[in-house]
Amino acid sequence: MARARDHRSRHSEIGQDPTAPAPLKRAERDVVALGILVAAILMFVGTGSSVMSHIVRSYVFGEANSDAMLGNALILNIALIIFGWRRYAELTREVGERRKAEETAQLLAHTDPLTGCLNRRSLDGAIEDLIRRSAAAGEDVVLAMIDLDKFKRSNDLHGHQAGDAVLVETARRIRGLLPERSVLARLGGDEFTCAAAFAPGHLAAIENLAARLNEAIALPIAWNGITIEITGSIGLARGEAAPDVTAQEQSHRLQHRADLAMYQAKKGGRNRYCWFDPGMEQELQFRSEFERGIREGVLRGEFVPFYEKQIDLESGELTGFEMLARWRSPRHGLVSPEVFIPIAEEIGVIADLSESLIRQALVDAREWNPALSLSVNISPIQLRDPWFAQKLLKLLVEANFPPSRLDIEITETCLHENLAVVRSLITSLRNQGITISLDDFGTGYSSLSQLRTLPFDRIKIDRSFVSSLGKNKDSSTIVEAISSLGKGMDLPITAEGIENGRIHDELRKYGNFKGQGYLYGEPESAEDVRRALAEQNLLVTPPLPADPAKPDLPHAVNG
């Protein structure tokens, strides 16, 4: 373990050769072989010279060999020296090879083989070492989380080998800019982490480094005759030496904070750096509470349908309602779908949420005059469910609601996903008598060919064009173009966002539209709609008992 730690801290320092073997430890040498060798040499030095002179004299001058035993002992002594030396040399080589193999195994366990950076496993230890050393030197540690932007797209476009080349070159560029003794690791994929020590208060130097990292990463990479351009988002977090926080805690905190800052850099437009701010942690906390609130709210029935009137602009008659979800949150009040729908989609509860809303809406709408339609918005995620059409039909059967009164609104973004699936879904829904509207038309770049191949029943002009009619010349041009498109394709049009009489009058110039907007009333709760319909004799059941002033109405009434 101690050896592994030595190894880590040594290799985490940039600029050193990571493959250099560590010196042999004394304890690992063969003590026995060394002992034999030393004893044999001592014996040879102590007695060898006098014995040798006897032997030489007996051979050269023919003197009688006084002690043949001594001569044999000398030969044995020399043999021992040779044996001992050879054994010692052999063992030293063997140990050396074993150490080298261990070194390589350690290296592979602690580094990323592609880029030579540290890997995720060894990162914590390396950062903790850096934190301890910097605390001793009175320095601060800055941690940067670097994530390449749209790396997956580049990988898909140019292939995985090109992706590897990008990672190797990016690591080389980052390494080239970091100060000595910095830590550089690749966390897997396209994420790098680096940490360096800085003198306290030297924020400008860190920001300068971060800006240079952004620049270096963004330089084009030439590979196999193609040029790859990629950028990186950097999150920065700074940790001051604190005696009450362990190096491990500080390392984890820095990594978490730099991660949050990196997401902020992505959100801010990518190819930039961003410092951690305590507000980000609060935002994260708020977000996780919000997510929990949505999950619990679905189970507790806190999501309720509101309804917005849809009007025939020519006759001024009410034709139906669009169901718009609201969250009656005990904590946050009445929450807009623009806030909770994207989160519900992300956390995977949109299908359950939408199903419960549609179920409630069908029960509500069953009491309205049968001439009134009900429009519901469907998320692109729900359209990916191969059982969606069946689920919807089941809801209709359960509520005993005629499919011809139901209109499904899907946005243009649905069409970008899987056109074939959407087409078959639309077709099967239409076969059941349900109508399909293309919502927010004009904002999602759907092509005319898509419009032609998908059997929509209606298009809804996005409210951004409608509510700026009369103020913005482009809007008039767009509305006029959509109007003639609708006429050409025989598709009726609904205009959303009619806020005042001026827009209403302006729209009348372009054709016979249906419309909805604040001019006719803001979205209302089921009870309010019921009350208003009752006043106009547009309910098929008696009005709410909550309003005793109103007279009872007969059952089926015609609008």
- Applying CB under 6 A, which residues contact ligand C2E? 308, 324-325, 336-338, 341, 354, 357, 377-379, 409, 439-440, 463, 467, 496-499, 516-518, 523
**The 3-state secondary structure of 93-114, one letter per residue:** HHHHHHHHHHHHHHHHHHECCC
Write the DSSP assignment of 368-428 as a string of letters: B-TT-EEEEEE-HHHHT-TTHHHHHHHHHHHHT--GGGEEEEEETHHHHH-HHHHHHHHHH
- Which residue in 235, 440, 529, 534 binds Mg ion (CB under 5 A)? 440
Q: Which of residues 496-515 bind Mg ion (CB under 5 A)?
A: 496
- CA quadruple 390, 392, 394, 396: dihedral, nearest 10: -140
> Residue 338 touches which of Mg ion, ligand C2E, none (CB < 5 to 8 A by kind)?
ligand C2E
Pairing outcome for strands 318-329 and 333-335: antiparallel
Residue 178 near which of ligand C2E, Mg ion, none (CB within 5-8 Å, type-dependent): none
Determine the Cα–Cα distance for residues 23 and 388; give it in Å rounded to an integer.
68
Looking at the Cβ atoms of 261 and 323, the one nearer to Mg ion is: 323
User: Which one, 149 or 462, has the nearer CB to Mg ion?
Assistant: 462
Rounded to a whole number of angstroms, the minimum distance from the CB of residue 326 to Mg ion is 14
Is position 409 an interface residue for Mg ion (rule: CB under 5 A)? Answer: yes
Between 412 and 496, name the residue whose CB sits nearer to Mg ion.
496
Give the separation between CA 98 and CA 4, rounded to whole angstroms: 15
Which residue is nearest to ligand C2E, using beta carbons? 517
Distance between CA atoms of 231 and 216, rounded to whole angstroms?
9
CB of 457 to ligand C2E, least distance (A): 16
Angle at 495 between CA 491 and CA 496, to 5 degrees: 135
Residue 325, both tokens: 């979800």
Nearest distance from residue 338's CB to Mg ion, in Å? 11
Q: Rounded to the nearest 5°, which phi and psi values hold at 424? A: -70, -35
In the complex with ligand C2E, which residue's Cβ is closer, 392 or 498?
A: 498
Closest CB to ligand C2E among residues 234, 341: 341
Q: Which does 128 bind (CB under 5 to 8 A by kind): Mg ion, ligand C2E, none?
A: none
Q: How far apart are CA 12 and CA 195, in angstroms?
A: 10
Structure tokens at 536: 């106009």
Pick what 499 binds: Mg ion, ligand C2E, none; C-beta below 5 to 8 Å, kind-dependent: ligand C2E
Residue type at position 249: E
Tell me whether residue 119 or residue 467 sits nearer to ligand C2E (CB atom).
Answer: 467
Q: How far is the CB of 345 from ligand C2E (least distance, A)?
A: 8
Name which of Mg ion, ligand C2E, none residue 475 binds, using a CB cut-off of 5 to 8 Å depending on partner kind: none
The residue type found at 530 is R
Q: Which is nearer to Mg ion, 186 or 460 (CB)?
A: 460
Q: Determine the Cα–Cα distance for residues 206 and 238; give it in Å rounded to an integer.
A: 10
Which entry of ligand C2E, Mg ion, none binds 467, CB below 5 to 8 A by partner kind? ligand C2E
Cβ proximity to ligand C2E: between 30 and 355 the closer is: 355
**148 has which bridge partners?**
232
CB 378 within 8 A of CB 410: yes
User: Is the CB of 230 or the CB of 495 nearer to Mg ion?
Assistant: 495
Tell me which stretch binds Mg ion (CB under 5 A): 165-173, 377-385, 448-456, 538-546.
377-385
Q: Which residue is associated with the tokens 């001594």?
A: 70
Among the listed residues 331, 153, 137, 133, the one whose alpha carbon sits nearest the alpha carbon of residue 251: 133
The one among 439, 441, 506, 539 contacting Mg ion by CB under 5 A: 439
Q: Which of the 8 DSSP states describes residue 519? A: T
DSSP classification of residue 499: -
- What does 139 bind: Mg ion, ligand C2E, none (CB cut-off 5 to 8 Å by kind)? none
Task: Please choose which of Mg ion, ligand C2E, none residue 523 contacts, taking the beta carbon within 5 to 8 angstroms, the exact cut-off set by kind.
Answer: ligand C2E
Orientation angle between helical segments 2-12 and 120-137, nearest 10 degrees:
80
Taking the least distance from each CB to ligand C2E, the nearer of 325 and 529 is 325
Coil, helix or strand at residue 495? strand
Q: Could you give the CA distance from residue 141 to residue 129 in angstroms, rounded to a whole number?
A: 11
167: three-class secondary structure by DSSP: helix
Q: How far is the CB of 347 from ligand C2E (least distance, A)?
A: 14
**Token code pair at residue 448:** 């005319």
Least distance to ligand C2E, CB of residue 322, Å? 6
Report DSSP state, residue 344.
H
Torsion angle (degrees, nearest 10) of CA 341, 345, 346, 348: 130
Cβ closer to Mg ion: 273 or 321?
A: 321
Residue 325's binding partner, choosing from Mg ion, ligand C2E, none, with beta-carbon cut-off 5 to 8 A by kind?
ligand C2E
Q: Which amino acid, one-letter code, is at 2?
A: A
Asked whether position 310 contacts Mg ion by CB under 5 A, the answer is: no
Binding of residue 354 to Mg ion (CB under 5 A) = no
Tell me whether residue 277 or residue 355 sits nearer to ligand C2E (CB atom): 355
Shortest Cβ distance from residue 335 to ligand C2E (Å)?
10
Surface-to-core class of residue 210, CB atoms within 10 Å of its CB (0-12 exposed, 13-18 middle, 19+ buried): buried
CB of 304 to ligand C2E, least distance (A): 10
Q: Does 308 bind Mg ion (CB under 5 A)?
A: no
Select the span of 141-149, 464-472, 492-500, 514-522 touching Mg ion (CB under 5 A).
492-500
* Chain residues in the site for Mg ion (CB under 5 A): 377, 409, 439-440, 496
